[in-house]
Structure 1
């Protein structure tokens, strides 16, 4: 049995699309909302099983990786989040790079020698790695219109991954992947599935319009903190709104908080775009936090810790500005 395990955002989906276009496999799809990163807890393996794991932190899944290897499974693991110690094992192959300009789909693109670069460009835009996306796109002779189309697709796929549950999303990530993997080119996907693309775009635009009416809970020269209401649209837009704010104010760090099902806050943090570091370090200081240098999050921040969070967030990034 083969399992394809992937983050439900643009990077995870586009990484798997590239791999399965290059090598078709019958597999069991394991995915979920973007913040559902301990995906290996969702199933068990037997000796001889194989897994492809994409765009979820190795560090957060290291115990299950060890269990699966001990059970006789083989694992191909590609990611750009915090990794922790990576064991040496004959059945484990890893492609992990935590550089702030790298995402999982760019790693897969390199692994495949650039076989499906349009999907990698799409994913990089989705991860708000605009410079990396444009750098790769510059080798493909894309005009401005096509580049903007890939950017919109990447942003909207990424937007679709956020929510408190799959019920908040416009499309379940595995369903969206299955629609997209039939196409070697994102442009062909858009052409043949205009209704899907339109639903994502319209949802994104409506939710962003709602978010842009929200005033910051706290802000100064170093940081801005936004608290969204307890609604499905707010949970959907939390990540892409953070990217939008980072692009508008590249010298500031941003935090966007939405309500989660545990009665606390789901937190999305974006480091300043002019110094894309520290988000993973800061969020890892909280029990359910983690991520990567430019963008990270906390899955559950108790309500009574909001003031503490703001104080720590301000102190962390104010120090880096001094």
Structure 2
């Protein structure tokens, strides 16, 4: 049996699309909402099985990964998040790049020598790697309209991944992957009126309008914080809204807080676009936090720790 294990956001989904367009393969799909990254813990594989793991932190899955490798499970692992100690095993092929300007789909793009470049660019836009996406789009000869189309679709796929549970999402990420795999390029998705594009486009705009109506809860030269209510639309828009804010003011950090059922905050933190570092390190200081240099989050931030979070962010970017 082969398992395809991937993050439920644009980067994870599109990374797998590139691989399976290149090498179709029957597989068991293992994914979830974007924040569900400890996906290897649910894998019951043995030495006759194989794994492809995309866009989930090796550090957060180290215990399960080591157990699988010890059983002889051949694993192909590609990611750009905190990796921790990469196991030395003949059963592991790891392509890990922590550069703040790359994402898993761009690593796959290099691996496939640009065979599905339009999909890789779409993923980079969706993961808010705007400069990297623009550079590749220019090299590919795309005009302004084409670049905007790739950016919009990438953003919409990414938007679909945010939520506390699959029930918050418009599409289960596994189903969205299956639907998108039918298309050779993102432009084919946009051209098809029956594709997921139209539904996601309308839903995104409605959720974004709700978010834009809420003023900043906290604002300084270094950080702005927006607090959203405990609602499905808030959970869906939180990460993509953080990206939008970061692009509007590239010298400031942004945090979008969403109240949850435990009366804590779900936190999406974006480092300043002009200083894309530190977000993962900051969020990792909290028990349920993690991420990468430019974008990170905390699943459960007690409200009485918000001031401490603000102090950490401002101290970091004041350097």
TM-score calculated relative to the size of structure 1: 0.97
Equivalent in the alignment of 2:75: 75
For structure 2, the 5+ residue unaligned runs are none
Asked if residue 257 in structure 1 is aligned to residue 257 in structure 2, the reply is yes
Alpha-carbon distance in 1 for matches of 2:262, 2:187? 40
Query: In the alignment, what sits opposite 1:218?
Result: 218
Say which SS state the counterpart of residue 310 (structure 2) adopts: helix
**Which position in structure 1 is the counterpart of 2:236?**
236
Give the Cα–Cα distance (whole angstroms) in 2 for the partners of residues 310 and 229 of structure 1.
19
Alignment of 1:85-164 (within 5 A): 85-164=85-164
* Aligned equivalents of 1:68, 1:76: Cα separation in 2: 12
What's the CA shift for 1:229?
A: 0.7
Within-5 A mapping of 1:35-46:
35-46=35-46
Distance in structure 2 (CA, Å) of the matches to 1:14 and 1:191: 18
Q: Secondary structure at the match of 1:138?
A: helix
Task: Provide the residue aligned with 2:66 in structure 1.
Answer: 66
1:73-103 CA deviation, whole Å, 9 max, x = no partner? Answer: 1100000001111011111001100101100
Assess, with a 3 A threshold, how the Cα gap between structure 1 residues 63 and 150 changes in structure 2: closer, same or farther: same
Q: Supply the distance in 1 between the matched residues of 2:134 and 2:227 (Cα, whole angstroms).
A: 32
Distance verdict in 2 for CA 1:95–1:27, change over 3 Å: same
Matched, 1:181 2:178: no
Q: Provide the residue aligned with 2:28 in structure 1.
A: 28
Number of equivalenced pairs: 319
> What SS is found at the alignment partner of 1:189?
helix
Match of 1:279 in 2: 279
- Tell me the residue number matched to 2:166: 166
**TM-score with structure 2 length normalisation?**
0.97
Q: CA deviation at 1:302?
A: 1.5
Distance 1:84 1:31 in 2: 22
Distance 1:277 1:248 in 2: 18
Question: For structure 1, which runs of at least 5 residues remain unmatched after alignment?
Answer: none
DSSP 3-state at the match of 1:139? helix
Task: Work out whether residues 189 and 195 of structure 2, in 8 Å CA contact, stay in contact via their aligned partners in 1.
Answer: no
> Is the Cα–Cα contact under 8 Å of residues 222 and 252 in structure 1 kept in the other structure?
yes
Q: Cα deviation per residue 1:244-292 (whole Å; 9 max; x = unaligned)?
A: 1101111101111112343311110000011111101111111111111
- How far is the alpha carbon of 1:160 from its aligned partner? 0.5
Classify the secondary structure of the residue corresponding to 1:132.
helix
